[in-house]
Amino acid sequence: MESTTLQQDPVTPPHPRVLGWVKIDKTFVSGVESNAKSAEIVRAVIGLGRALKSPVIAEGVETAGERSFLMLEGCEELQGYLIGRPAPAATYAMLINGDRANVLMAG
């Protein structure tokens, strides 16, 4: 049985930005404000993102309590139904172009 190991070349410095972003899975976000273990995991992941100088994105944010907890802990990027529902690309194009009246009629 063969074994494979990964090593950093001592001549080449490590890449300064290994990860483009760090994402917190919705299973940890759900009810985070009332689940101590999830809260500690979320805090650790946010700390990891800070240490790596990578943005941290929380997915599955569905309640104001989850949003408040994440924002207080320093997570600045959120995804989920509380933030916005899935919609056709044309709807987002209208939003970007400032066509709010048609967005409201389309939704």
Task: Write out pLDDT tens, residues 7-56.
Answer: 444 555 555 555 678 999 999 999 999 999 999 999 999 999 999 888 99
Structural contact between residues 50 and 86, judged by C-beta atoms closer than 8 angstroms: no
What confidence tier does 94 reach under pLDDT thresholds 50, 70, 90? confident
pTM: 0.69
Q: What angle do CA 101, 104, 65 make, to 5 degrees?
A: 130
Instruction: Tell me: pLDDT of 90 over 90.
Output: no
73 is written with which tokens? 């802990």
Share of the chain above pLDDT 90, in %: 52
